[in-house]
Amino acid sequence: MNHATAVKENQSISVDSRAGKYLTFFLASEEYGVEILKVQEIIERMPITPVPLTSKYILGVINLRGKIHPVMDLKMKFGMDPTRMTEETCIIVIKTSALMMGVLVDKVSEVVNVASDDIENTPSLGTDVNTEYLLGVGKAGGRVRLLLDIEKVITASDIIHLKKAAETSVPEPKAETI
């Protein structure tokens, strides 16, 4: 999170802080990367208990060795189609100083070392695409990997839905039947 702001301020200065090992995974056909240090573990998909009144992209909660952690569908979070469960679908458990959360991805790819020379700043893509979650773009080995600021992704404040519903006072579709 700090990386991005630091970069904006000093475009020309080295981007060392973003270099390092990344775990890469696929969302549809796009390859993304998260800093390996923030990855707690990768688990197979398991039964997820939905939690009412949360955002659509929050799939629910799972039991990870006796602790309960929320799981989000990363594709829905980024405005893509919901993830279809396949054999390769899995949950990457992200651990930050503040919280732990699982993110559902289509397929885990590999661990790569991204050197600072290979990192480019995210180009401005217009208003359609929200690039605030991107640290930059890694281009090692001729492949484009979108490096995620995962901490920013999972600490987004729109997890609980009710507040919104109450504030807007426009009845949600599901409330209309009441």
Binding segment for another protein among 26-34, 94-102, 119-127, 140-148 (CB under 8 A)?
A: 94-102
Dihedral angle, C-alpha 40, 20, 9, 1, nearest 10 °: 0
Per CB under 8 A, 150 contacts another protein: no
Please name every residue paired with 42 in a beta bridge, in sequence order, or none if there are none.
Answer: 92
**Strand, helix or coil for residue 68:** strand
Q: How far is the CB of 23 from another protein (least distance, A)?
A: 20
**Strand, helix or coil for residue 2:** helix
Per CB under 8 A, 111 contacts another protein: no
**Residue nearer to another protein on the CB measure, 80 or 156:** 156
Binding segment for another protein among 10-18, 58-66, 76-84, 104-112 (CB under 8 A)?
A: 58-66
Distance, in Å, from the CA atom of 163 to the CA atom of 54, rounded to the nearest integer, reads: 10
Distance, in Å, from the CA atom of 100 to the CA atom of 38, rounded to the nearest integer, reads: 10
Per CB under 8 A, 47 contacts another protein: yes
Contact pick of 29, 98, 123, 141 for another protein (by CB under 8 A):
98
Distance, in Å, from the CA atom of 135 to the CA atom of 73, rounded to the nearest integer, reads: 20
DSSP-derived letter for residue 112 is E
Residues that bind another protein (CB under 8 A): 47, 49-54, 58, 60-63, 65-70, 98-101, 154-155, 159-160, 162, 165-166, 169, 171, 174-178
